[in-house]
A and B are shown apart, each in its own frame.
Chain A
Amino acid sequence: MIRAALLALADGRVFRGESLGAEGEATGEIVFNTAMTGYQEIMTDPSYKGQIVVMTYPLIGNYGINDEDVESRRPWVEGFVVKEASPTPSSWRGRRTLDEYMREQRIVGIQGIDTRALTRHLRDHGAQEGVISTEELDPARLAAKAKAAPGLVGRDLVREVTISAPHGWDEATWDRVRGYREPAAARFKVVAFDSGIKRNILRQLVSLGCALTVVPASTAAAAVLEQKPDGVFLSNGPGDPEGVPYLVEAVRALLGKVPIFGICLGHQILGLAAGGSTYKLKFGHHGANHPVKDLATGKVEITAQNHGFAVDPMSVKAHGLDLSHVNLNDGTCEGLRHRELPVFSVQYHPEASPGPHDANYLFNRFVDLMRRTKGG
């Protein structure tokens, strides 16, 4: 039985398709992701809170949904858009179909639409609010709903994805034979702010000997320092960094007191904490093929990216932060390094998952920084 579904954008463009996953209605900012694999990791990435994700690769769900490839405790995408969801996945790890999973997790989706046309529209007209519905099938009324939806700018979405109480972490990186491994012997104490942290960041850190305390995004600097950490990690997370002033505040207070490493939202928070500014990109970077150049070595790494905002590198220059990495596609800021303090951050995702492992070295860089700071 084919159930109809409709997707309407705030600017009035409408796509007709078939329902995928749960029935109902989902609202969010529509963004496209160009990664060809890793849909399960994408759906469970808390940074997608508030967003409906369109996969540009048309055949999604081919290897099903398994028990391992999750980046947080649940999926966070508001809605999911694909060309064709495989009803008959095949993989030695696959357990369920994408459709079954989305129903179970109450995620509303749409399939069978011209996802390339949608992507081109977003590219040309910018990311915008959209609604997927299996209930409201009148295009004009659904478009009106999309138009009325709140945008991401200035909103605090972190609060919706962070944790309520601190916890530890003991699952290390994945391996085909053993699954998730045991952590390495702990050498460093690290406090990680959870603004919607991806588990693979935690797995990378414990694999390198970090004893982790994961804390809510609202944790104050004093509470962090009380734990006498060797380093502080600022996680990825959803939405506009300006929507989380309390976190910016905390980081400002930590600067100079402890080595800091930030990823994605964490990088933007660092930029703001140092006194810089951020801005919204037209349609963001969401994918697994973005070339980033490390300005120190001149080497290019292929990176996983997922962000809609960026730091203005000029705005932080006067505050001690230098541009360390640059995006070769559009020249945007991909990394910052403090001239004096043991502080650095990247806009992209060295933890990958999904995506290439080229930037994995950054976790070692963080560990080295802690070792040096500790030693000196």
Chain B
Amino acid sequence: MPRRTDIEKILLIGSGPIVIGQACEFDYSGTQACKALKEEGFEVILVNSNPATIMTDPEMADRTYIEPLTPEMVAKVIARERPQALLPTLGGQTGLNLAVALAEDGTLDRYGVELIGAKLPAIKKAEDRELFKEAMQAIGLEVPQSGYAKSLEDAREVVRRVGYPVIIRPSFTLGGTGGSIAYNPEELEEAIRWGLQTSPLGTVLVEESVIGWKEFELEVMRDGKDNVVIICSIENFDPMGIHTGDSITVAPAQTLSDKEYQLMRDAAIAIIREIGVETGGSNIQFAVNPDDGRLVVIEMNPRVSRSSALASKATGFPIAKIAAKLAVGYTLDEIRNDITRETPASFEPTIDYCVVKFPRWAFEKFPEADQTLTTQMKSVGEAMAIGRTFKEALQKAIRSLEQDRWGLTLDKPLADLEELRAKLRIPNAERAFVIAEAYRRGIATQDIYALTRIDPWFLENIHEIVEFESELQRAGLADPVVLRKAKQMGFSDRRIGELCGRTELEVRKSRLAQGIRATFKMVDTCAAEFVAYTPYLYSTYEEEDEAPRTERAKVVILGSGPNRIGQGIEFDYCCVHAAFALKELGVEAIMVNCNPETVSTDYDTSDRLYFEPLTLEDVLNIVEKEQPLGVIVQFGGQTPLKLAVPLERAGVPLLGTSSDAIDSAEDRERFSALLTSLALAQAPCGMARSFQEAEGIAKTIGYPVLVRPSYVLGGRAMEIVYDEQDLARYMKEAVRVSPEHPILVDKFLEDSLEIDVDAVADGERVVVGGVMEHIEKAGIHSGDSACALPPYSLGDDQVERLKVQTKALAKVLGVVGLINIQFAIKNEQIFVLEVNPRASRTIPFVSKAIGVPLAKLATKVMLGKTLADLGFTEEREIAHIAVKEAVFPFVKFPGVDVVLGPEMKSTGEVMGIDRDFRKAYVKSQLSAGSPLPTSGKVFLSVKNRDKRAVVQIAKRLAEMGFNLVATQGTAKVLTRHGMSVEVINKVAEGWRPNIVDLMKRGEIALVFNTPEDGRARKDSYLIRRTAVTQNIPYYTTVDGAQAAIGGIESLLKSELGVQSLQEYHAGA
């Protein structure tokens, strides 16, 4: 069947902000879909609230709406654009749920919009656990025994049937949110309560536990002619009971015989047919009993998923792109395989390497969180590695995580055997490393298996690695046979050095002298059966190197590695733009990255893709092979920046701003001198090498002070301390201080405004991209605070002064490329907080807001163009306003306080855009999942310092018709000002009902709670936590509250409208 001609305009829905369970993979799939549909001549309408995506670049779709992903707002887009079809399967669970909502509320019918890819009944059948179970039984497949529960009583009834332990799975949630395991009645009670709360339908499935069984996934595709192919099989290293997003996963499946694999394949094909997914990709999960091979079906995602992204990168088969083409009528045999060119897409990729995906967690950011891995996903990112063996891929994946770990080593020694056993038995982020340690301590495979239920095949591979460590220790670097074997097993030079008492570079030198060098192999979908035309490469230590030689000028772009808090999709966005810019300049773009979720690791983003860890060793291998003009380290965040100096020392040319300039911005003393020379103000500060020194500095500059270790970045362990006692606690609990590891102590500029400025410079000229005013006052990490572009409260003269200072700094540093500066304004005085001569997190946001691709321009500048050549010599004035808001993972971490501070905790961001600041702010809140109410009860509870501000806030709320609820202290203040307030008990007072009861009963529409600083905030913790779990909009700063009230006022006046980026920019 050829392309459909009865539709012309297609609506695509993105997945919104990056959250745990939904990351860049949906930018990857959405971008592929946009490209595929445009290539076919369709008019593409895109809605997504996440500005940091490539898919929301104005060139990707015909109309791009950066608008909140709610049924009401998307309905407005539909009413305005009148698309004939909606493709719901490429925007993650968010996109799918929205499509379902729009189908069910009649919007799609009203406007005659057809769901393509998957129809409503199919989606429901796959997503509704009861219907899914019935469907499986209808085709003779087994599922774990289970029953639905809408109450604890129902749940107990099911448990009587299936026995403990049971898995609790709430219906229609994302990334397993609200899921858990109960081993006894007590745990059941807790699990059910939480599960019912998180399910939008208030229902959970209580299921027979198959914990400890082997877990597999198949990626399946179907076309309109009912042709079905399996793209990839994935085996989870971790057994059932751990969310697949938190499991180490391996492709292809390793321990299934052909007979067993084919049964699974038959089952997958039967499932996609029975569920009725018409066209596109689906992910199906299975559990296999290791003792008798019994196969049960766990679940199906009737859409492109995180695993599809992984499968695409693991095989070279672009699932999302093909899914988009199938949705518009093509059949698999009509689409060609891009890689081989000659063969069709109607085949099953076969691979000749092993792929390992390793999750990356962020528990260091949430020390109070339960770190046990369960059925609810907790990781924030992942790295993928390719090797010729599992051992090689595993060790490459470990160093790809960038956690300063170079092999299977422990971060902290284990106290005793007891702890070791516990860490083997209870799934946790360290388990793979604990297994290695268990082998080092002589524990047998069968015992490790009994504790972990990880398949012995995987365990034995780790065993081989551990055994080889001793071999290396014995042989040192002298034996080329041992050294080559070590490299083939994936040992990093650094790890070999650790084992042999040498440095990384000594090992490198020695092995190169022995002729042991990396070879590069292609990912080609077909195990070399056909010639491959797309240079998608990985390194290994084999005989033959197949990286094609080219004589063209080329540039290497270093990517940003696995997503983590503080470094995510924004940097991938910049790297992708760098590749686009290089292509436009006719320079070959070579991308290096190891994050399978990203657009940068799509093989057609750059001219050549190296799927490799971003370590010195691996990057040098590529640079030596390719001999590029230079390397771009400015765009990938800290990951490549850390490599700048060692690469330069190794003689690798870096493009753009010099590493000396980077150093003078990062080195405290040089930085202070720089500011002094320009007569710019800096908050008083000092560097302490001992507790006494820190105390002394704090006393001199005066509390509160901002303290942080000098050797970590991204706000890690950064805190505001208010007095000596607090400082002592910080020094005791949070950091080690020593002459080698000094601590930075800065005067904290209380109540100051914070501003971010992004600019691009060519060495001569500096052009400011955008000045962003933070909504929250100083003290909150810039990644966590909302901001507005252009500023909403600053005077023109202030903005002008900020620009002047930015230009002066960029010039004196000789910036060639991007620069980001953070300022504070206190009592009209401007202080420079930080200068980052590189791409910042806000680059995509600014680029979307002003309609100028800053990262692309910066790349061209680095290659010698001037801003004048590029036609960007003046700041872009815009008639609209854009608000960025951060999105947090608190709902995933029970027990974690939600208060913001100087350490970044958000995983993603959204953008609200409108002609009016208040409307833009309302949209940003709506997009961030916290819609502002226009009536109801508002709960107010503020710290003493904010008592004055709260009066003003309360007055405005009362005027708008809200009812006020407050605890004693705040209530007293408000009553004194003549307002009528309902007084409610604090939780700590012990009387019921208290505020938390009210919130749980759904009586509170909005919460304003500014917690006391430091130690006193425990009291109000439960209020904030309840707001998160009950999904009640809450504000923990006065500034946030004020902005919210402004938003509510504007909402009461008029409805929100929608407009595309293309229209905003045309009018700008």
Chain A residues at the B interface, C-beta cutoff of 8 Å: 15, 32, 34-38, 40-41, 56-59, 62-63, 66, 68-69, 83-84, 86-93, 113-117, 119-120, 123, 174, 176-177, 287-291, 293, 298-300, 302, 328-330, 352-357
Contacts and interface: CB of A to CB of B under 8 A. Distances in A.
B521 A116 contact: yes
A107 to B, nearest CB: 19
Contacts of B460: 86-88, 90
A36 to B, nearest CB: 5
A23 to B, nearest CB: 20
A262 to B, nearest CB: 23
A132 B463 CA distance: 30
Contact of A176 (B292, B331, B526, B542): B292
A176 B294 contact: yes
B992 interface: no
A58 B388 contact: yes
Nearest 7 CB-CB pairings of A with B: A38-B258, A117-B544, A354-B258, A88-B460, A56-B527, A90-B457, A114-B543
B1054 interface: no
Contacts of A115: 352
Contacts of A83: 388-389
B292 A120 contact: no
B352 A56 contact: yes
Contacts of B542: 114, 116-117
Contacts of B332: 300
A299 B226 contact: yes
B347 A289 contact: yes
A27 B225 CA distance: 46
Contact of A288 (B333, B350, B353): B350
Contact of A36 (B293, B343, B351, B531): B351
Contact of A91 (B255, B331, B463): B255
Interface string B347-371: 1111111100000000000000000
A29 B333 CA distance: 32
B255 A90 contact: yes
Interface in B276-316: 290-295
B225 A299 contact: yes
A177 B445 CA distance: 28
B346 interface: yes
B256 A63 contact: yes
B1008 to A, nearest CB: 57
Contacts of A354: 258, 262
A302 B293 contact: no
A63 B542 CA distance: 25
Given A63-B256, A116-B544, A90 B294 contact: no
Given A58-B388, A62-B255, A291-B344, A356 B457 contact: no
A328 B337 CA distance: 12
A291 B350 contact: no
A339 B311 CA distance: 43
A37 B258 contact: yes
A353 B258 contact: yes
Contacts of B349: 289
A289 B343 CA distance: 12
Contacts of B456: 88, 90
Given A58-B389, A69-B257, A300-B227, A328 B528 contact: no
B751 interface: no
Given A34-B350, A300-B333, A63 B528 contact: no
B455 interface: yes
B333 A120 contact: no
B355 to A, nearest CB: 12
B265 A35 contact: no
Nearest to A287: B350
Given A59-B354, A114-B543, A357-B262, A92 B528 contact: no
B533 interface: no
B530 interface: yes
Contacts of B528: 32, 56, 116, 119-120, 123
A48 to B, nearest CB: 16
A40 B530 CA distance: 25
Name the prevailing secondary structure of the B interface residues: loop
A283 B941 CA distance: 77
Interface string B247-258: 000001111111
Nearest to A297: B225
B898 to A, nearest CB: 44
B869 interface: no
Contacts of B294: 176
Given A116-B521, A300-B332, A37 B347 contact: no
B263 interface: yes
Interface in B514-546: 521, 526-531, 542-544, 546
Q: A interface, by DSSP: helix, strand, loop or mixed?
A: loop
A86 B458 CA distance: 11
B350 A36 contact: yes
B256 A291 contact: no
Contacts of A298: 225
B347 A58 contact: no
B347 A290 contact: yes
**Residue of B352, B455, B527 with most partner-chain A CB within 10 A:** B527
A120 B546 contact: yes
A352 B530 CA distance: 23
25 contacts: A34-B350, A34-B352, A37-B256, A38-B258, A56-B528, A56-B529, A57-B527, A59-B389, A63-B256, A68-B259, A69-B259, A91-B255, A114-B543, A116-B521, A119-B528, A120-B544, A123-B531, A176-B259, A176-B260, A176-B292, A289-B348, A291-B347, A328-B344, A355-B258, A356-B348
A87 B461 CA distance: 10
Given A83-B389, A123-B528, A117 B543 contact: yes
A350 to B, nearest CB: 13
Nearest to B543: A114
Contacts of B257: 37-38, 40, 63, 66, 69, 91, 93
A352 B350 contact: no
A89 B457 contact: yes
A177 B291 CA distance: 12
Contacts of A302: 229-230, 347-348
A115 B389 CA distance: 12
B346 A291 contact: yes
B527 A34 contact: yes
Given A66-B257, A116-B542, A355-B262, A58 B292 contact: no
Contacts of B347: 289-291, 302, 328-329
Contacts of B390: 59
B352 A69 contact: no
Given A88-B457, A114-B542, A119 B352 contact: yes
Contacts of B342: 329-330
A34 B526 CA distance: 8
A341 B50 CA distance: 64
A117 B354 CA distance: 16
A235 to B, nearest CB: 20
Contacts of B183: none
B455 A90 contact: yes
B452 to A, nearest CB: 13
B205 to A, nearest CB: 26
Given A34-B527, A289-B347, A41 B543 contact: no
Given A34-B526, A299-B226, A329-B347, A62 B259 contact: no
B256, B262, B390, B521: residue with the most chain A Cβ atoms closer than 10 Å: B262
A116 B353 CA distance: 9
B240 to A, nearest CB: 16
Given A92-B291, A290-B347, A59 B527 contact: no
Given A116-B521, A328-B347, A299 B227 contact: yes
A115 B351 CA distance: 12
A35 B544 contact: no
By CB atoms of chain B within 10 A, which of A37, A113, A330 has the most?
A37
Interface in B604-621: none
Contact of A69 (B258, B351, B354, B531): B258
